[in-house]
Amino acid sequence: MRPMIINVLAFTGGFVIMAMELLGGRILAPYFGASIYVWGSIISVFMLALAFGYLLGGRLSLQRPSLRRFGLVFLIAAVLLYPLAIYADPLMQLVFTYVEDPRYGSLLAAALLFALPTVILGVISPYAVRLRVEHVDQSGSVAGRLYFVSTLGSALGTLATSFYFVLWFEINTIISLLTLALVAMGALAWFADR
């Protein structure tokens, strides 16, 4: 049961990361457009934040790893993600007031909005690998399976958000749903550890 729970957590992490990234384009577009500069800024911020998250996750996974602590990662990500539903628009107006250049304005806005939650979401993959590896000789196989599951979640998050969610829901509703998914995964990990 434990390996399946960890897989579900990794899948959901991948799903939320890509859903957030696509929403980033929708959030920035009214102020900075949807040019290559804007998407370059969003992708760069997400990639850098994930890189730091992977590093942090690797370090955290060495300190008494448990499903309960893993659940806290999801809860912290939820706490950092939800304020986007409230503060994204005022923050975008503030950035646009001072930085109209779409290159630097979109880069600053993407960093302010998405860096912290994405760093925390980046912790998920290395932490999940640490929880699943029981013997060193299986580490490559376990990592491969978990990255497969996480990337599958990312692909589904991309398609679900771009094909359906943005058509059915407002951006703030999608952010709220993603936050609820993170809270649910945090609770699942927390109670599965008991």
CATH number where 33 lies: 1.20.1250.20
Please give the structure tokens belonging to residue 56.
Answer: 């942090």
| pLDDT confidence band for 182 (50 / 70 / 90) | very high
Of 25-34, 37-46, 77-86, 169-178, the one with minimum mean pLDDT is: 25-34
Single pTM value for the model: 0.89
**How far is residue 151's CA from residue 115's CA, in Å, rounded to a whole number?**
20
Domain that holds residue 55: 2-192
Contact 15, 156 (CB under 8 A): yes
Domain count, the chain: 1
Mean pLDDT of the residues in the chain? 90
Q: What is the pLDDT of residue 49?
A: 96
**Any idea which residue has 């390996």 for tokens?**
3
Distances from the Cα of 164 to the Cαs of 65, 122, 157, in angstroms?
Answer: 36, 25, 10
Check pLDDT > 80 for residue 118.
yes
Amino acid 6 reads: I
User: Shortest CA distance to 84 belongs to which of 27, 18, 8?
Assistant: 27
